[in-house]
Amino acid sequence: MIDLLKNSGLEPEQLEYTEIVGQCANDLLTIINDILDLSQIEAGRLSLAEEEFQLRESLNSVVKLLRVRADQKGLQITWEVSPNLPDRVCGDGLRFRQIFTNLLGNAIKFTLSGVIHVNVAECKDSAHFCCKVIDSGIGVEDTVSERIFEAFFQADGTHRRRFGGTGLGLTISRQLVGIMGGQIGMYNNKPGPGSTFWFQLPLGGLKDEKLALPETKC
């Protein structure tokens, strides 16, 4: 209804107010969805699909979705996928896109200028692929880097007021990656500004209890 109202020939000031209402509604919807996802995960009720999905097409769809937000801040998004990776992988494509959306959205939120680069390549064991989101943003203080994936955690109150958000996106991503049999982590870029958030998932499907994942970061 808000979108219909925006296209009804409003005056500039009315259109500005309507856009603010629309943004608030979208923010509220995001918070509700995050809380529902977290509740399902903690209750053990989240079911995952095991089906083929197109890796490059999934990445491209997320980049296209968030590029508008990046353009508004004057940020450039670049991405590449190793030619050694297949076009189709097995797993839950919807949840893969959710994880990637959370990481790329965070990178855009906490980057004031520069480039955000996405790199997807095979891991050394060749049974997994690793997705890295590399930004030139404010980075994460070393004292809180171990807690960054905790629910409702943000580096400090200043960041919450300045950048917004609930601190649930990374927690949900960590839980989803774990259910899918992978690993997730981050490190600050040295030398240079910003940070790199990464996650790795099996190429062949969901978690195999006999699978020994490497302990080192991608």
Q: For residue 186, give the H/E element and its range.
A: strand 183-188
Nearest to 133 by CA among 212, 83, 59, 34: 59
Q: At what angle do helices 93-109 and 169-179 cross, to 10 degrees?
A: 150
Give DSSP secondary structure letters for 62-94: HHHHHHHHHHHTT-EEEEEE-TTS-SEEEE-HH
Asked if pLDDT for residue 215 goes beyond 50, the answer is: no
- Domain 50-202: CATH class, spelled out: alpha beta
Q: How confident is the model at residue 139 (pLDDT cuts 50, 70, 90)?
A: confident
Query: At residue 94, does pLDDT exceed 50?
Result: yes
Token digits of residue 56: 């490059």
16-50: pLDDT as tens digits: 999 888 877 877 887 788 788 888 888 888 888 88
Dihedral of alpha carbons 213, 200, 35, 56, sign: negative
- Beta carbons within 8 Å of 4's beta carbon, 6+ residues apart: none
62-83 pLDDT, tens digit per residue, is 999 888 889 989 999 999 999 9
Residues 183/200, Cβ–Cβ less than 8 Å:
yes
Q: Give the domain ranges of the chain.
A: 1-46, 50-202
For residue 196, pLDDT beyond 90: yes
